[in-house]
Structure 1
């Protein structure tokens, strides 16, 4: 009798927990459904991916790949980087994504401020053209934040171009130390933090993983 009563009690507890779980999940679903119902505005987003951790550019390229997969027209402008082979570029150019690359490498490599400013300005002029092009659905400005930190490109000019782009055009900006004015303007901001990095332990950058 004891075992039978125990089984009955256990069954009741299990039913009670199942009912409680179902109720919690229903409440959660109701809240999510309400948020979905409330989010009816459609327009281009400004997305910022910043922070000191690895993966900012990778995230940006992932969004570009997703957009292309849905048939959107995408473009990439790369600041700072450009002297290394780029696996994403090799893949995405074949999918019709246009690339404009500053191609000076890192500033500590060139050690020539005037050359870097000239290269940044040249690529920025192309960026402004893209920000006026209604045929471009998504743009990735990879490492643009550095250009603002170094004052190679005027902040007010960047903000004006972003604010006056086609209404349905999406823009992704990556890089460390994003300026507060850009963060305030953005619709979505993600900060990637570094917990550990292989390079700090003497492990070289790996092809297909780091570049």
Structure 2
């Protein structure tokens, strides 16, 4: 007697069971943990937002963390307001930049502030109590050579504590950093309202 054809529901269930078995096998082989070097780059929106998303996860898990902002320090951002007002006991927030380089129009001052930001970043990364450090827009500072990308890479490789996570954001991440990172995400720009004459808006851009 021939078997009855499977229903759509039965075919779907069998397919999902096979996928789950394969996924469980993969997950069973993943046992290692390490502090990750994470890079968010590319021309699209969402690099800093994703980094702050991870900061909020750390806060939710009661993991001490820290933020160093290299460019947007002069801005009153929603993330900074929220963290400083409610989670200062779990997350240090250091706004080291004074605006984008074309706003300050003072290269020497920009370099000085970037170097101070990097010094603070190293201090926070080496702190054994801190488990996650977000270096927001540091890639821009490295792009302009205000901070030496090779120095950053060597520090992260040789001095970063084994279980400390570090996330570096900003477009135009340099190749040595990408090569050294454990996780790299490139945000792709498809559409942005700025190109249609819409300014950055509260809650979306800052």
CA distance in 2, matches of 1:34, 1:187: 22
Residues 33-182 of structure 1 aligned to structure 2 (within 5 Å): 33-93=24-84, 94-96=86-88, 97-163=91-157, 164-182=159-177
Aligned with 2:198 (options 188, 199, 203): 203
**Residue of structure 2 in register with 1:3 after alignment:** none
CA distance in 1, matches of 2:7, 2:205: 50
CA distance in 2, matches of 1:154, 1:195: 31
- The reply on whether 1:20 has 2:11 as its aligned counterpart is yes
Structure number with bigger Rg: 1
CA contact (8 A) 1:80 1:103 kept: yes
Q: Deviations over 1:175-202 (max 9, x none)?
A: 1011111111111111111111111111
Q: Deviations over 1:73-109 (max 9, x none)?
A: 0100001111111110111122121111123100001
The count of corresponding residues between Structure 1 and Structure 2 is 199
CA RMSD across the alignment = 1.2
- TM-score normalised according to structure 2 size: 0.92
CA distance in 2, matches of 1:28, 1:130: 42
* Residue ranges of structure 2 left out of the alignment (5+ in a row): none
* Residue ranges of structure 1 left out of the alignment (5+ in a row): 1-11
- TM-score normalised according to structure 1 size: 0.90
CA distance in 1, matches of 2:147, 2:108: 12
Structure 1 residue 160 displacement after superposition: 1.8
CA distance in 2, matches of 1:46, 1:32: 25
Structure 1 residue ranges (4+ consecutive) displaced by more than 2 angstroms after TM superposition: 15-20
